[in-house]
Amino acid sequence: MAHPNWSMGQKISVDSATLMNKGLELIEACFLFNCQAADVQIVVHPESVIHSMVQYVDGSVIAQMGQPDMRTPIAYAMAWPERIEAGIESLDFFALKQLNFEPADEQTFACLALARQAFNLGGSMPAVLNAANEIAVEAFLQEQIAFSAIATLVAEVMSHHDVVDITCLDDVLNVDAWARQLATTRIAKRIARKVV
């Protein structure tokens, strides 16, 4: 639960460790910017100072930088389109010394690959991914399953889902409930077989 840069709740800390948080952000970015998952590259940035980057056709990149503190985006959301004091120190570029970047390994971080797959399948699959992940993370936090079983469980639930179109909120809620129930059932079976 000890993230080096962020103070987060347990669920978000686990999502950060599995990179599911980045997978969910990938889905979000695709919807917000009307692009395909192949157009979005996930970059691991250990300092957590650059929060997003956009590369333009001329090769230039604009980055949004700030302290790793959720008070900044919360303040911006509350005051939008204005900017208000958020109680956060400004970045000290001399103290930063360096910024590091590395590609996200989707082989090691299976949840990230599952999120990309869920977006590509479309329809109800992103809701299934999210619901199954929430149940799996809760089971891990309750020590019912191993950390490595989170991605396995999410993949199992996704593999049993036939994608449907989402036309209203009830569609989302129904799919969410279905995925949670299947994930819960799968966890119970793992526990009964003593497979964590």
pLDDT at position 51, please? 87
Q: Tell me the per-residue pLDDT of 85-99, one tens digit each, with 9 for 90 and over.
A: 999 999 999 988 899
Task: Choose the CATH number for 122-192 among 1.10.1740.10, 3.20.20.80, 1.10.287.130, 3.40.640.10.
Answer: 1.10.1740.10
Pairing assessment for the beta strands 102-103 and 61-65 based on DSSP bridges: unpaired
Amino acid making up residue 122: G
Q: Which residues are CB-neighbours of 106 under 8 A, at least 6 positions away?
A: 112, 113, 116
Distance separating alpha carbons of residues 192 and 49, to the nearest angstrom: 44
Q: What's the burial of 112, exposed, middle or buried (CB within 10 Å: 0-12/13-18/19+)?
A: buried
DSSP code at position 81: T
Predicted confidence band of residue 161 (pLDDT cuts 50, 70, 90): very high
- Is the pLDDT at 61 greater than 90? The verdict is yes
Q: Does residue 196 surpass a pLDDT of 70?
A: no
| Extents of the domains making up the chain | 45-101, 122-192
Banded model confidence at residue 5, pLDDT cuts 50, 70, 90 = low
